[in-house]
Chains A and B, each alone.
Chain A
Amino acid sequence: MNISANGYLSGSNLERVLRAGHFAATGELGPPQSADGSTIREKAQLLKGACDAANITDNQTAIVRMSSVSAGAIALQEGLEPVIQVTCRDRNRLAIQSDILGAYAQGIRNILALSGDHQTFGNHPMAKNVHDIDSIQLVQMIAEMRDKKIFQCGDPFKGQEPCMFVGAAAAPFAHPIDFRPYRLGKKVNAGANFIQTQLIYDIEAFKKYMEKVRALGLHEKTYILAGVGPLKSPAMARYMRESVPGMLIPDEIMNRMTAAGAPWSGKGELTKEDKKARSGAWRETGIKICVELIQQLREIEGVSGVHIMAIEWEEAVRPIAEGAGLLPRPVVEPAAA
Chain B
Amino acid sequence: MSDQPSFEPQIVAFCCRHCAYTAADLAGGLRFQYPTSIKVVELPCTGRLDVLHVLRAFEDGADGVIAAG
A–B direct touch, CB within 8 Å, in complex? no
Which residues does A use to contact B, with CB under 8 Å?
none
